[in-house]
Amino acid sequence: MGTNKSWIILVCFLWNWNCFADSPVLREKVIKTAESQLYVREKTGNNDGREVERYLRNVGLGKGYAWCAAFVAWCLDENNIPNAQSAYSPDWFHSNVVYKQHSPQISQFVSKSAQVFGLYFESKSRVAHVGLITGETKFSYTTIEGNTDDGGSREGDGVYARIRNKRSIHAIADYCMSKDEKQKYPGK
């Protein structure tokens, strides 16, 4: 009986650690998952193809829909990380927001890998493209994004590694934060 109880405690500990710990290992797993998709291209250029449709099914949609946010949801789901579960880009910034353009920052913001960034498009009057941050330099973020292309479009043909100017980033949300860290960002 003691052995079964030990296993249950261990499983509960690992579940909580995997889902809620701000772990560099967990962040690295998310990035490895995203990197494994860098070969993905749409079948006909119409938001379709085996992998693209898998990302869309993951958020309850069929082929033909914009899929940058569905790709992010799929990467996080593959690593059991609770997330916005939405293909609608603005939904990713209702909670877990750690950076918002033009908001006062007490200290210089430093990103972490696997954070979700959002680009604002004036023509849409909203965040209309999201992706995952993989690293940063003084002036830019390295990213992996779905439904983009070599030019950085929000309606591209595949999964690409990109470099985005920091000034172009409207918001950043962190779904890999610990519970304690989430308390630091109330109301954002």
Q: SS3 of 174, please?
A: coil
Query: Residue 167: pLDDT above 70?
Result: yes
Query: Residue 184: pLDDT above 70?
Result: no
Cβ atoms of residues 79 and 33 within 8 Å: yes
Residue 174 backbone phi and psi in degrees, to 5 = -125, 110
Query: Residue 188: pLDDT above 60?
Result: no
Domain positions in the chain are 22-182
Query: Residue 20: pLDDT above 80?
Result: no
pLDDT band for position 26 (50/70/90)? very high
| Dist CA 69 CA 146 (whole Å) | 8
Q: What is the rounded average pLDDT for all residues in the chain?
A: 88
What's the rounded mean pLDDT across residues 3-15?
48
Query: Residue 105: pLDDT above 90?
Result: no
Residue-level pLDDT at 106: 60
Query: Residue 111: pLDDT above 50?
Result: yes
Q: What is the pLDDT of residues 128-163, one digit of tens each?
A: 999 999 999 999 999 999 999 999 999 999 999 999
Residue-level pLDDT at 12: 45
Residue-level pLDDT at 178: 76
CATH 3.30.70.2390 is the classification of domain 22-182: no
Q: SS3 of 108, please?
A: coil
pTM here is 0.85
Task: Calculate the alpha carbon distances from 4 to 9, 24, 140 in Å.
Answer: 9, 30, 50
pLDDT band for position 10 (50/70/90)? very low
Query: Residue 46: pLDDT above 50?
Result: yes
Query: Residue 97: pLDDT above 80?
Result: yes
